[in-house]
Structure 1
Amino acid sequence: MASSHLKAEPTIEIQRNIFTAREKTTPVQIALTGLSLAFEQRPVLSDLDLDLRFSRLGIVGRNGSGKSTLARVLAGLVAPSSGKATLDGVDMYADRRAAIRDVGILFQNPDHQIIFPTVLEEVAFGLTQLGRSKRQAERDALDTLAAFHKSDWADVSVATLSQGQKHLVCLMAIVAMAPKTLVLDEPFAGLDIPTKAQLRRYLHLFSGAVIHISHDPQDLKGCETVLWLDKGRIEKVGTGPDVISDYLTEMTRLGDDDDISDLPR
């Protein structure tokens, strides 16, 4: 569907925010101090301590290891039961204004994230949350679509888009807000190989820091630092190739066992 809005070329400022070279990324600091979280008395994260700076951080672990819960804690969406988590010294749960400004999160299912009927409305919404007028937010949203070469998507109904296209809408909406840190919670789950490759290409151009969460180590190529979570605890943290190698060795060992037969006690 053709857009009735003026097709804007991306401004220099928008291009600078979205497509700054990767090597210019400013690292951010993540600090966890005695971080624990339980749901209905069931431990999900247990006594995590961590202090590191990163530009691209991968978080890997089996399903149920606490990866998504940690993502929500870091983004300020849930509070820990005890301890503390900060990004660049800020507790995002305690400071909602900072969370909206500094952290964007891309969920596994874009249908859980998208709330507006058209692409332009969805991309503009976050900008109004930052305090911009509706008119300015729409202008900046159009600039963002143009920067992604998607100006003709402005009036398109989100309901008509494929799953991969919806992921891209969510990514554009987040990137338009220019957060310092982008949290990716299993964004490639269920996508085919070409769609994954296309989304990786867009993500590679994002100029801020990235926390990429996945159970698949193939998704974490390019992450200079990787954190391995197991049963809510930190198993290992270090350089990407080192941690991934140990993770794959352990996953292969577990695959040779039959722990799927073990019943909860």
Structure 2
Amino acid sequence: MDICFADSTVRFGDRIALHPLTLTLRERRIGIIGLNGSGKTTFARLINGLVKPTSGSVTVNGLDTVTDDKAVLGQAGFIFQNPQNQLILPIVSEDIALGLKGRGLSKAEIEARTQAVLLRFGIGHLGSRRVHELSGGELQLAALASVLVTAPDILIMDEPTNQLDIRNRALVGRTIDGLDEHVIVISHDLDLIADFDRVLLFHEGRLCGDGPPAKMVELYREIAA
């Protein structure tokens, strides 16, 4: 993984959502923390082109998020804060298979890949279930499968343990720990990112901290006090 921000800025009208930022990300597990409205989600969405820089540039494995936007989407998958909004079709296996349509794969290949990703996360039994029947933890795993079936190199997760009980938070945490992909996680769940390789702290649209989890969490608590 090689993500480069070069003097990247984001404006929404007159408001600066992200002040100029130059940064390179290569670590396997990266956490993003900060108060609501601090710029962390804007920053994360720059990585796969959901948000475009107003000035400067962002590249992912050498691909520019503006000029190579379709290729970047194949490199970096994004799981939204509410996974139920991400799962479009009513049946879990159908939704996962949807991401493989239009890729020149046969029906048998699509079915095989869908089953393989369900089994990878131990949720083969959920394939025939309706999305609205799933628990919070099951929804997160189904959303994860729907993104990873397309084999992105990078996975970005926005508040993956939001509104989950302690059991499902632990389940999602263990799943993230076991992923081979590079993972970038936006989270208010500070325990989730406690063992990550690197944590970025945002405040008022600026990167105000970049370092090991314990140090960044301590700084975050000072800002939030």
Please state which band the TM-score falls in when normalised by the shorter chain: over 0.9
Match of 1:24 in 2: none
Residues 119-161 of structure 1, C-alpha deviation per residue, up to 9 Å, x if partnerless? 1111111122544334311221012112222222222111211
Looking at secondary structure, tell me which structure has more helix per residue: 1
The structure 2 residue matched to 1:217, chosen from 186, 190, 197, is: 190
Segments of structure 2 that go 5 or more residues without pairing to the other structure are none
Give the Cα separation in 2 of the matches to 1:157 and 1:166.
10
- The structure 1 residue matched to 2:179, chosen from 176, 185, 206, is 206
Q: Does 1:163 align with 2:97?
A: no
Partner of 1:133: 106
- Say if 2:133 is the partner of 1:122: no
Confirm or deny: 8 A CA contact 2:60 2:75 kept in the other structure.
Answer: no
CA distance in 2, matches of 1:55, 1:151: 27
Q: Which residue does the alignment assign to 1:72? A: 45
Residue 80 (structure 1) shift = 1.2
Q: Does 1:54 align with 2:27?
A: yes
| CA 1:129–1:191: 2 relative to 1, 3 Å | farther
Task: Give 5+ residue unaligned stretches, structure 1.
Answer: 1-27, 256-265
Q: Retained in 1: the 8 A contact 2:49–2:73?
A: no
Residues 100 and 129 in structure 1, CA contact (< 8 A), matched pair in contact too: no
In structure 2, how many angstroms separate the alpha carbons of the residues matched to 1:43 and 1:187? 26
TM-score for both structures, normalised by structure 1: 0.80
Change (3 A) 1:117 1:79: same
- Is the Cα–Cα contact under 8 Å of residues 101 and 130 in structure 1 kept in the other structure? no
What is aligned with 1:4?
none
Q: Distance in 2 between the 1:130 and 1:183 partners?
A: 22
Query: Residue in 2 aligned with 1:236?
Result: 209
Are 1:197 and 2:174 an aligned pair? no
CA distance in 1, matches of 2:13, 2:161: 30
Residue 105 of structure 1 corresponds to 78
Q: Radius of gyration: which is bigger?
A: 1
Identity between Structure 1 and Structure 2 (%): 35
